[in-house]
Structure 1
Amino acid sequence: MTGKRQFPDDFIWGAATASYQIEGAANEGGRGPSIWDTFSKTPGKVLLGHTGDVACDHFHRYESDVKLMADLGIKSYRFSLAWPRVMPEKGRYLESGFDFYKRLIEQLHKHGITPAATIYHWDLPQWIEDEGGWSNRAVVDYYKEFAEQAFKALGDDVPFWITHNEPWCASLLSYGIGEHAPGLKDWRRAYRAAHHILLSHGEAVKLYRELGLKGQIGITLNLTPAYPASDSPEDIAAQQRQDAFSNRWFLDPIFKGEYPADFMPRVERFCGDLNVIQPGDMETISVPQDFLGINFYTRSVVKDDPADDSLISVHGVPTDNPVTDMGWEIYPDALYDLLHRLKNEYTDLPIYITENGAANADAIVNGEVEDTPRIDYVRQHLDAAHRFIQEGGNLKGYYLWSLMDNFEWAFGYTKRFGIIYVDYETQVRTPKASFHWYRQVIENNGLTD
C-alpha cells in the first residue's frame, strides 16, 4: 500500500507495559511475592535465571519515563496493577499499594496522557496460588475484591479499564503447557482456570457498572488466527481444533455465552468433567462490555497429526515468510483477517489493538539503535489496521508493545520488544529509531511513504 493513510481524528495512539515486566521494587512498600517471583526464582524456569526484582526500575523512574512518553506523543498509556502490592497476604489489604499508581496517574494527566489500567496482567499473589490459584473458584472473590479496591482508589482518574490481559496465557499456557507461572502441566486445572478468569472478568464488569463509574471497561484477548496447511479435510479439521484452542474458547463465552461445542468433547476427554460451570456463570461471563482489546503478533499454520494423541493433535508448519526475534512469522494479513472475523462473527463493539510489536536483536551503535525491522513490522500491521478502518471497521486505537525493553517472561531479558532501549546494568534509556518513527506516525495521525 502506498501514499498517505490517514487514521480517524479520534484514533487513540498508545504504548503498553505490564507491572512485573518493568516496575522492579519487588520488596518495597509491603509488596508480597507473586507467582512470577516464585517461578523466576525456580531453577530452569526462566532463561539465564533472570527475575523481575529490578526489571526497568520503573517504580522509581516513572516520572522520567512519563516524560519520554510525552516526548513520544502518545495519547494513552496502558499499564497494569500489581496485585501483590495491594493484597500481599491473605486477609491483609494495603491501601498504600495504590500510592505508586496514583503518582503515576497524576504524572500522566499532567502530560495529557490518558491512563489505561489493566487489572490483571499475570502477577497473581503467591498466597492465592497456594490455595489453588485460578483453578480454585475462591479466586473469583479475591479478584473481585482487588478490582473493587482498584475502582475505588483510582476511580474516574482512569477512564479506560481492562479486566484481564490474555486469559489464554494466564490459564492454558500457565497451567496446561507449563511455560508460564505457575508452570503446571495439568489440563484440568488449566481449563478450570480459564473459566474462573472469564467469570472474574464478568464480575468485574458488573461491579464497575454498580459503582457508577463513568469510563469504559473491557477485556484483552491474545488471538492467533489459525490457517490450514492444505485444503484437505484433515487439515481443515486441524485448523478448527487449533482455532477453538487458541481463540474460540475465549471469544465464544464472552460474546455467545457458551463454550465451543465442537471442542468440548476433547476437553472433557483430557480433563474429565470440569465440574466448574455453575448456574448463572455463562450469563455473567457474557455480560455486555464497552470494547474488546486484542493482542496480535502472528498466526499459526497447522497440519493434522494423527500420530499425536494430544488435546489438539496438530503440528505447526513453517512458512517462507520472515520471522521476528521470537521466531514468530510476520504475516500482517492475518491481523486484517482477524479484525474482519471479529466484526462479522462476534461484535460491533469498538476494538482496540492493545498490543502489537516485534522482538528484535537490538544493540546500541554509536549511541543509536537502528531497529528498521521493527519499524517495518509495525508499519505493515498499521497498514492492515488502516485497511480495516477504511472498510468500515470499528477500530479505535493502537497500543504498541512495548514502550521499553523489559522482562520478557520465560525469556528473561534476552528479548527486546521496546521502542526505548534499556541498559539493564545502568537503567539508561535510549529511544530507538522506531521511537522517532512512531512519534512521526502519531504527529501525522497516519502513515506516509
Structure 2
Amino acid sequence: MKYSFPEHFWWGSASSALQTEGTREGQTTWDYWFTREPNRFHNGVGPQHTSTFYQHWKTDIQLLKQLNHNSFRTSISWARLIPDGIGEVNPQAVDFYNQVIDELIEQGITPFITLFHFDMPMAMQEIGGWENRDVVEAYARYAQICFELFGDRVLHWFTFNEPIVPVEGGYLYDFHYPNVVDFRRAATVAYNTVLAHALAVRAYRAGHYAGEIGIVLNLTPSYPRSQNPADVKAAHIADLMFNRSFLDPVLRGEYPADLVTLLKSYEQLPACKPEDSALIAEGKIDLLGINYYQPRRVKCRDSAVNPQAPFMPEWFFDNYEMPGRKMNPYRGWEIYEPGIYDILVNLRDNYGNPRCFISENGMGVENEQRFIENGQINDQYRIDFISGHLTWLHKGISEGCNCLGYHMWTFIDNWSWCNAYKNRYGFIQLDLDTQQRTIKKSGEWFAATSLNNSFDK
C-alpha cells in the first residue's frame, strides 16, 4: 500500500548542541558532572566527545541535503553563546550559529531552533538552576538575544526540548545532575520552566518576528492495565504528572485543576506569585513539537506506600508490563506504533487540534557493527520502526489531525547523556576513531521517502 503525505510536509531529523558540537567556552552541568563522576557515563565517555558538528557542520549539512531533508532541528547552546549565562555574548558563537543557519537555508533546509536542550550553564546551576527565578529571568534575556541575532532567518523556534526530563532526571529519579530526590523541588523546577517558557513567548510576540514559537514535549500516552476504576485513576494521575503538567499550560494557558488539587493536598505545590497566572496564559504556543518513543502502561498500586519514603509520582500508580508487548531490547523500551496516533487524536479532540509535528521518534540499538553488509549498516529494523510509526501518523492525518511533519532522532550517531555511545540512533554511522560518516540503509530509505513524500508498505 502507498502512504502519501500532505504537500510541504516536513521531513528531517533532530539533534542538540550539547550532543553534537563538542567542547564549548562556557561549562554546562554535564561538563561539570562528568569531571566529578565520570563513572556515571557509559565507558567513561563525556560530553567533550560528541559528533564534532562544530568542526564538520558544513559537510554534515551536505549530508542532510543528501538525505533529502527539507527541515532540521538543532539547538543553540546557552553556555556557548553566553558562557556565564548572564554576561557578554561570545562573538565566536554568534559566527558559528550564523554560518550554520545560513548554510541550512542555502541548501534548502529550513532551520528549527531549540533554545534549551538540557544544557544548563553551570554558572546558572550554581545559583539554583530552575529553582531560582533569577535564572528564569536570565533565560528570558538569553532567548531575547537569540531572537534579535537570528530571528530574521529562523522562523520556527522552540523554547524547550522535553522540559519534563530535567525535572525527572535532576530532581526525582537521579539520572541528571544535580541528582536531587525531592518532589517539591521538582515541582518548583517544572513550574519555573513554564514561567521561563512564557517569558520567552512574550518576548517573541513583543518583537513581532516573522515566524512562530513553540515547545517540544515528550508525550507518553498513559494506558491503564484495565478499565477497573482504580487502574483508570492511576493512568489519569500519571498522565497529569508526566504529560499534562506541561501540555495544558502551553496549549490552554493554565494547569489542570485536578493536578493542582492533588499536589495541594500533599503540600507539594511550588511557590506561586499572583501575577504568574497571567504570564502563563501568555505562553500559549503556535506550534507543538511531539517527541514520541514509548507508551506508559500503569496499574493501581497493589502495596501500601511507605509514609517515610520520599513523596513520588509512584505513590499513585505502579508501572505495568503488558504481556506480549513488542520491545526494543537494547533500550528496554516498548515499541507501540499506535501511540503516535493516540497522541494526535487526543490533541485533536481535547486541545483544539493545534499545529504540531513529530519532532522526535527513534530507535537506539547497541553494537550496530553486527549488521554491516558490504561496508554499510543494514538497519532494516529501523526502517520497520519508522514505517510502522508513519503508517499510524498517516492515519491520524487522514482523520483530520493537524500534523505537519516528521523528524527522526537523529541524523548522525551522537553522544547521548549518561549512555554516551551505547545505543546508536542515526541515519548515518559515526566512526568514533576517524569521525568518518557512512549512510546506513535507513538513511537511504528516508531520503527516498522524503523525495517522494510517500512510501510503500
Describe how 1:337-376 pairs up with structure 2 within 5 A: 337-361=342-366, 362-363=368-369, 364-376=372-384
The aligned residue for residue 34 of structure 2 is 40
| Residue 420 of structure 2 corresponds to residue 412 of structure 1 | yes
Distance 1:70 1:17 in 2: 15
Q: Does 1:392 align with 2:400?
A: yes
Structure 2 letter corresponding to 1:102: N
Q: Give the structure 1 partner of residue 321 of structure 2.
A: 318
Distance 1:172 1:268 in 2: 20
Q: Provide the C-alpha distance between the structure 1 equivalents of 2:434 and 2:155, rounded to a whole number of angstroms.
A: 34
The offset of 1:110, in angstroms, is 1.6
Q: Could you list the per-position Cα deviations for residues 261-302 of structure 1 after superposition, in whole angstroms to 9, with x for gaps in the alignment?
A: 323354346664421x22232332232321111111110111
Distance 2:81 2:20 in 1: 17
DSSP-derived class of the 1:378 partner: helix
Against the structure 1 CA distance between its residues 402 and 91, is the aligned structure 2 distance closer, same or farther, given a 3 Å change threshold?
closer
Work out the CA distance in 1 between the residues paired with 2:275 and 2:297. Answer: 36
**Are 2:53 and 1:55 equivalent residues in the alignment?**
no
Give 2:108's aligned residue: 112
1:234-253 matched pairs, under 5 angstroms: 234-253=230-249
CA deviation map 1:287-340 (0-9, x unaligned): 232111111111011111142524333222223222222111111111101110
Q: CA deviation at 1:427?
A: 0.9
Counterpart contact for 2:326–2:334, Cα < 8 Å: yes
**Alignment pair present for 1:196 and 2:200:** no
Deviations 1:355-387 (A, max 9, x none): 111112321444110111111111011111110
Q: 2:174 aligns with which of 160, 174, 178?
A: 178
Deviation at 1:172, TM superposition (A): 2.8
Inter-partner Cα distance in structure 1 for 2:87 and 2:240: 39
Shift of 1:182: 2.8
Report the residue type matching 2:313 in the other structure: L
- Report which stretch shifted further, 7-16 or 39-48: 39-48
Quickly say closer, same or farther: Cα 1:356–1:286, change in 2 above 3 A: farther
**2:309 — aligned with what?**
none
Matches within 5 A, 1:158-237: 158-237=154-233
Instruction: Give 2:334's aligned residue.
Output: 329
Partner of 1:14: 12
How far the C-alpha of 1:402 sits from its partner, in A, is: 0.5
SS in 2 for 1:169: helix
After TM superposition, the score normalised by the length of structure 2 is: 0.93
Question: 1:252 offset after TM fit, Å?
Answer: 1.7
Q: Distance in 1 between matches of 2:76 and 2:304?
A: 40
Change (3 A) 1:149 1:321: same
Contact conserved, 2:79 with 2:120, CA < 8 A, in 1?
yes
Q: CA deviation at 1:159?
A: 1.1
Gaps of 5+ in 2: 306-311
Identify which of 64, 79, 88 aligns with 2:74.
79
1:281 and 2:283 are equivalent in the alignment: no
Cα distance change, pair 411–268 in 1 and its aligned pair in 2 (3 A): farther
TM-score under structure 1 normalisation?
A: 0.95
Secondary structure of 1:157's aligned partner: coil
Q: Which amino acid aligns with 1:216?
A: E
Aligned-pair identity (%)? 35
In the aligned structure 1, how far is the partner of 2:127 from the partner of 2:75?
Answer: 23
In the superposition, relative to structure 1, how do residues 347 and 37 fare at CA in structure 2: closer, same or farther (>3 Å)?
farther
Change (3 A) 1:284 1:347: farther
Contact 2:14 2:407 in 1 (8 A): yes
Post-superposition offset of 1:348 = 2.6
Amino acid at match of 2:180: L
Q: Does the aligned pair in 1 maintain the 2:169–2:176 contact within 8 Å? A: yes
**How many angstroms apart in 2 are the aligned matches of 1:270 and 1:406?**
41
1:68 counterpart residue number: 63
Shift of 1:13: 0.8
Report if aligned partners of 1:296, 1:355 keep a CA contact under 8 Å in 2.
yes
**Closer, same or farther in 2 for the Cα pair 1:93/1:372, shift >3 Å?**
same
Distance 2:352 2:217 in 1: 14
In 2, Cα distance between the equivalents of 1:127 and 1:64?
33
What is the letter of the counterpart of residue 412 of structure 1?
A
Q: How many residues align?
A: 442
CA contact (8 A) 1:85 1:98 kept: no
State the partner residue of 2:288: 292
Note the residue ranges of structure 1 that are not aligned, 5 or more in a row. none
**TM-fit CA distance, 1:230:** 1.7
Deviates further, 172-181 or 157-166: 172-181
What do the CA deviations read for 1:162-184 (whole angstroms, capped 9, x no partner)? 11101111223322222123322
What are the Cα deviations for residues 40-87 of structure 1, in whole angstroms up to 9, with x where unaligned?
A: 333243222221103111100111100100100100110000110122
* SS, match of residue 12 in structure 2: strand
Local SS of the residue matching 1:221: strand
